Amino acid sequence: MLHPTAKGIFDGRIKGLNNSVHITMYVDNGIKGLKIPDYYTSPGIEYYIGFGTGYEQGQKLRVLLEKDSSSQMSLDEKTECLSFLLIKQETCRLILSTESFLDNIKCWEEFNIPKTTIDEIQNLLKENKTQRAVDKILIYLKEKFYLKSLMEFYTIYDELKRIRQKKKKNKEYIIIEELEKIKIEIQNWISLK
């Protein structure tokens, strides 16, 4: 659990990024949908201070995306990708640096995976090392700044994580079929790219 100020900054950055309205207008319009998470017992002052700071950071990020001319992506696509990145920074075990991704916006919608990497992934899948194959793809996408593809692939990662959590809670739960489906999804995903 994050400190209320830190949580406010995370939430505010995403709201600010996805809003063209200045913070004062946002507040004057009733702070739509702004709710302090239930697990905070303080009256919310720390959260709101963090939210305001984060909102202004998000607005600055939005301006950077608006001024960017290195990518053919629309502003909506760019904000969607960057919102995904900001959300993942809060919960992800991969280190995702906002600055390095912002320096490489031109790469966000690209995807080119070398044959050797595809072969390594397929070998891992044949050896039933699905988690290692998924991790290899995630790390590759992150290192190449292929943010749009990273967003798409994360659905497969989330599905694998969900299955593993079910197995952890219930040792009797059989995951073989679901793992096979994920392997097929990975195969399809890398062959389509």
Residue 52 CA to residue 161 CA, distance in Å, equals 33
Please report the sign of the dihedral spanned by the C-alpha atoms of residue 73, residue 74, residue 80, residue 86. positive
* 47-66 tens-digit pLDDT: 888 889 999 999 999 999 99
Buried b (16+ CB within 10 A) or exposed e, 135-152: bebbebbbebbbbbbbbe
Rounded CA-CA distance 82/60 in Å is: 12
Mean predicted confidence (pLDDT) in 91-103: 78
Structure-block tokens of residue 185: 């999804």
pLDDT score for 8 = 86
Better-scored residue on pLDDT, 141 or 97? 141
Structure confidence at residue 33 (pLDDT): 59
Are 3 and 42 spatial neighbours (Cβ–Cβ below 8 Å)?
no
Q: What is the dihedral of CA 112, 116, 117, 121, to 10 degrees?
A: 130
8-state DSSP, 70:
S
Average pLDDT value for residue range 120-133: 94
Q: How many CA atoms lie within 13 A of 28 on its CB side?
A: 5
Rounded to 10 degrees, the C-alpha dihedral 118/123/92/80 comes to 30
pLDDT at 91: 75
Q: What is the pTM of this model?
A: 0.82
